[in-house]
Amino acid sequence: MAFVDHSKQQEILRPVKSSFIVLSLTLAMVMNLLPIEGLAITLWPDFVALTILYWCINQPQRAGISTAFIMGLFMDIGNASTFGQHALAYCIMAFVALAFHRRLSIFGILKQAPQIGLILFVGQFIMLLTGLLDGSPFPGRNFFLPSITGTLLWPFFSSLLRMPQKPRSDNDVR
Amino acid sequence: METAPRFFRHGPSLLARLVFFVMLSLILMAVDTRFKYVAEVRHVLSAVIYPLQKLATAPIAIYDNVSEFFKGHHLAGENAELLQQKLFNQGQLQRLQALEAENAHLRKLLDASERVEGKAVMAEILHIPRDPFNRKVMLDKGSQSGIQLGQAVVDDDGVVGQVTRNYPWVSEVTLITDKDHSVPVQVLRNGLRSVVSGTGKEATLELRYMAGNTDIQEGDTLITSGIDGVYPPGLPVAVVSKIERNPAYVFARVTCTPIAGVGNNRQLLILSMLPSTPEIPPEVIELKPNNKKREKVGVR
């Protein structure tokens, strides 16, 4: 299955620096903590989840469930939610991404998007469950909008994260 | 598997790791909601995340400063207007001072305890969490600025909420609309006491367990009663917006709207005093073995 023609998708990328992974996760956290209001807040995708998914799919040796767990704890503090709520959701999302990372990396970025959307949806569903168990009312269908915007954003987002690893231009390699 | 080179060994399997971390987060959740033991861990992590929160609010702060700079030429007009306003306010304040003096005198005559006056600390909203399951905001003042747990937070119109967690530089305020938050109130019109609770929905509060024939009307203003020892008495909280009296149910359904702009403020005041509560006389403690619960009204 892995020998199917991968076209230009499979260009050989340069190795990722660990510092870049940490930097991207930190920036994603800042994006999540931006003080936004109104319509934007219902549409704002969970950038930390997207970043974790990207690294789980593309660097499964470096980023794993433990990364997701730690980022989840930070997001719990930032979002003032019950300690462990985001951690649980991120762990399960990272697990799904790691379990399917070989399959997902075969697909092109565009074809990955709907599957990423499904993983994001699973994560949100877990958060919804923990919220409901805590006694909150159902927050309305808009609650799931961020996973849709996250899906739409995935192609741009993953090509942005891939940019620093792009091989140098041809005349460099020769 | 045993012959696999070092590179291919990854420690415990994926599923084992998942189960471990899921159990860990479930335990953390249970401990956090039931026992509040993880406060120290939260403090440490919040210190790590604080620079990021500051960084995230930086663009807004810069925008504010720049727009203020360009607003400079409006200042003269604004100044004149403010001076006028000040004059007007001073007139009112003088009347208030007279009333306050009179009130103090009368209270002394009645031998009632004087109401404690407190200072207020101005704080700015640092970040509004995106979690739809709780209504909270983070303020940019924390225990380093003397913010303590349980302090009331108000804006220029009324009560906004209460400090429920204080980190070194940040504090977390639970808004009155949070589902776990209640405020003891009084109806301004007739002094009827009750407790208004949040619903977890935007700008909606409710008065629970009001009998169907209670004297309450739409448009009634609810003010804090002060019997909780957390909120100073007399602060406006909410206006009754809708009453459904259905004879099929024992209780009326009273929905209220908060007076303060709970969701749309940048600056808030943290009232920096907790009025000293009179000690409970020993005979009451004997009568009520569960007196612990009473101290926590409003915090839950």
Burial string for B234-272 (b: 16+ CB within 10 Å, else e) reads ebbbbbbbebeeeeeeeebebbbebbbebbebeebbbbb
Q: Lowest-confidence range among A122-131, B114-123, B255-264, B281-290? A: B281-290
- Nearest-CA distance B36 → chain A (Å): 10
Q: Is the pLDDT of residue B181 over 70?
A: yes
Kindly list the residues from chain A whose CB atom is less than 8 angstroms away from the CB atom of residue B15: 95
- B189 contacts: CB under 8 Å, gap ≥ 6: B217, B220, B221
Note whether A87 contacts B25, CB cutoff 8 Å.
Answer: yes
Kindly list the residues from chain A whose CB atom is less than 8 angstroms away from the CB atom of residue B179: 135-137
What's the whole-number mean pLDDT along residues B159-175? Answer: 88
Q: Which of A26, A30, A139 sits opposite B133 (nearest CB)?
A: A139
Decide if B33 touches A, using CB distance below 8 A: yes
pLDDT tens digits along A161-171: 888 887 766 55
ipTM (interface predicted TM): 0.82
Confidence of residue B7 (pLDDT cuts 50, 70, 90): low
pLDDT tens digits along B190-202: 888 999 999 888 8
Look over chain B and give the mean of its residue pLDDT values, rounded to a whole number: 80
What's the whole-number mean pLDDT along residues A21-50? Answer: 87
> DSSP letters along B161-174, please?
EEEEEE-SS-EEEE
Note whether B55 contacts A30, CB cutoff 8 Å.
Answer: yes
- Sequence length of chain A is 174
Note whether B21 contacts A91, CB cutoff 8 Å.
Answer: yes
Q: Which of A35, A91, A130 sits opposite B128 (nearest CB)?
A: A35
- Nearest-CA distance A147 → chain B (Å): 14
Residue B109 CA, distance from chain mean position: 35
Decide if B179 touches A, using CB distance below 8 A: yes
Confidence of residue A124 (pLDDT cuts 50, 70, 90): very high
Two tokens, residue A149: 């915007």
What's the whole-number mean pLDDT along residues B82-108? Answer: 84
For residue B287, the SS3 value is helix
Q: What 8-state DSSP symbol labels residue A83?
A: T
